[in-house]
Amino acid sequence: MTAATVQTIDVPIYTPISNSNRAHQFVQLSNGITALLISDPGESFASLCASVATGSHNDPDEVPGLAHLCEHMIISSESKKFPKRSHYHDLLIEYNGNQNAFTTGEQTSFYFEIPNSNNKTGKPIFDELVGVIADKLGSPIFQSADINKEIQAIDNEHENNKNLVSKALYHGTKKLATQRSKFSRFSTGNIYTLTQFPIVAGKIINLKNVLQKHYADNFVAENISIVIRGSQSLHYLKKLVQTTFGDFRTKSTIKSQSFSIESFKKLQKVWAARYTEPLFSKQEPETPNSILIQSSKAPILRLVFPVSHQEALFSRSELKIFSKVWSDLFGDESSGSIHSKFSARNILTRQVTQLSKFTIDDEGLVLQFELTNSGWKTGVESLLTDLFQGFLPFFQSIDPDEIAQYLNEWNTINLLQFMYQDLDNSTMDKCSDLCSELLQCEDPQFILNNSIAFSCNRKGSDIGSYYESPKSKEWWNSQAKKFLSFVKTYMSWNNCKLIFLGDLQSNDFLKSRQVPTNVKFDEHYRFQYELSLIKLNHVKMSPKDFRLPSSTAFLFGLEKNLSALKQSLTAVLRKSQGSALSIITQSKLLQTTPRLMSKNENYELWVKEENSLEYSSRSVITIELINMGMEPSAKNTMNLEILTQLLYFYINESLYPSERVGYMYQIAANNRGDVRLAVTINGFPQGVAMILQIIMDKMVDIGKPDFDITNSMFRHSRILVRTKYEEAARANSCTLASLGVLILLEKELTTLEERLDALEDIDIESFKMFCKDLWIPKSNYMNLVIQGDLSIAETVNQYMDGIIHHLSGPNVNQTSVFRLREPETIKLAQGSNFFIEMTSFKEDPTNSVVYFIETGDRTNPVDYTMSSLFEYFMSMTLVPDLRNKKQIGYVVLGGLRLLTDTLGIHISVMSNLPPHTIEDRIEEYLYYLETNVLGAMTEAEFQDNILQKYMQLIKSNSLEKLIKNAGPANLMAQIEASVHSGNYPSNLQSQGYTVGQHKKLKDEISFRTYAFSETKVDVCLLSKLTLQEFKRLFMEKISILSLQRRKLSVRFKTPMTKPDIGISMMTMQLDGFLKSKGFHITRDELQEIVTKTAGKPTSLFKELFHHFRTQGQSLRLCTLVLKEIVKQILAVTPSSSSSSNTKLTQNIKTQIPTEIQSIASFKMELTVNI
- Residues annotated as catalytic are 71
**Backbone phi, then psi, for 361, in 5-degree steps?**
-105, -5
Give 758: exposed, middle or buried? Use CB within 10 Å, 0-12, 13-18, 19+. middle
- Say how far apart CA 1024 and CA 176 lie, in whole Å: 67
Q: Which of 74, 432, 447 is nearest to 226 (CA)?
A: 432
172, 893, 923 from 880: Cα distances, Å: 40, 11, 16
What is the distance between the alpha carbons of residues 785 and 375, in angstroms, rounded to a whole number?
Answer: 42
Measured from the Cβ of residue 216, the count of other Cβ atoms closer than 10 Å reads: 11
- For residues 435 and 872, give the distance between their C-alpha atoms in angstroms, rounded to a whole number: 34
CB proximity list for 355: less than 8 A, separation 6 or greater: 323, 324, 327, 363, 364, 365, 366
Element of type H or E holding 367: strand 362-371
β-bridge mates for residue 757, sequence order: none
Give the CA distances from residue 2 to residues 243, 250, 1068, in Å, rounded to whole numbers and listed in that order.
11, 12, 52
d(CA 530, CA 533): 10
Can you tell me the distance from the alpha carbon of 73 to that of 329, in angstroms, rounded to the nearest whole number? 43
Cβ atoms 671, 975 nearer than 8 A: yes
Task: Give one word for 96, left, alpha or beta, with left for phi > 0 and alpha for psi -120 to 50.
Answer: left
Q: Alpha-carbon distance 73 to 80, whole Å? A: 14
Query: Which positions ≥6 away from 1104 have C-beta within 8 Å?
Result: 1081, 1089, 1122, 1125
- In angstroms, the CA 107 to CA 116 distance is 29
Q: Are 956 and 948 in contact (CB under 8 A)?
A: no
CB-CB neighbours of 1069 under 10 Å: 20
Distance CA 624, CA 804 (A): 12
3-state secondary structure 566-613: HHHHHHHHHHHHHHHHCCCCCHHHHCCCCEEEEEECCEEEEEECCCCH
Q: How far apart are the first and last CA of the chain?
A: 76
For the CA atoms of 1010, 1014, 1015, 1019, what is the dihedral angle to 10 degrees?
-120
CB half-sphere exposure, 633, CA atoms < 13 A = 13
Rg (the chain; Cα; Å): 31
Compute how many other C-beta atoms are within 10 angstroms of the C-beta atom of residue 704. 11
Helices (H) and strands (E) in the chain, counts: 39, 31
Instruction: List Cβ neighbours of 910 (8 Å cut-off, separation of 6 or more).
Output: 732, 733, 734, 846, 847, 848, 889, 890, 891
Pairing of the two strands 362-371 and 300-308? antiparallel
In one-letter notation, the amino acid at residue 232 is: Q
Residue 20 Cα to chain centre, angstroms: 27
* Rounded distance between C-alpha atoms, residue 425 and residue 992, angstroms: 5
